Amino acid sequence: MVTASNLWVLRRPVESAQYTSLAFGNRCRDAGVRPSTGSVGDAYDNAMCESFFATLECELLDRNRFRSHSEARMAVFSFIEGFYNPTRRHSALGYLSPIEYERLHHELT
């Protein structure tokens, strides 16, 4: 039985200590990406990510049991592409869905 606690695909790929490491900073620079400039342990740096994972856990993972990792991966994909991005409204986007927000942004530019 696959549950949220042993589903390895949902673990965060980078732990907070790695965000401030020199190697991580160098990789970001080499890739042309500017890393977060917040202070160590600053909750505002990853608030949106934490909110997403809390929603995923509460609305999908806690309510379902998966027979395999493949089934869990498909459920996560369906949740994101079938509900979270196209229809779920976000307060950070003025209570628009991400797709509505993107469409409005492109219409204005």
Residue 104: pLDDT over 90? yes
Round the average pLDDT of the chain to a whole number and report it. Answer: 79
pLDDT band at 7 (very low <50, low <70, confident <90, very high): very low
Domain residue spans in the chain? 4-108
Residue 11: pLDDT over 90? no
Residue in 4, 9, 5 with CA at minimum distance from that of residue 70 = 9
What tens digit of pLDDT does each residue of 43-95 get?
Answer: 566 777 788 899 999 999 999 999 999 999 999 999 999 998 889 898 888 99
pLDDT, residue 41, reads 59
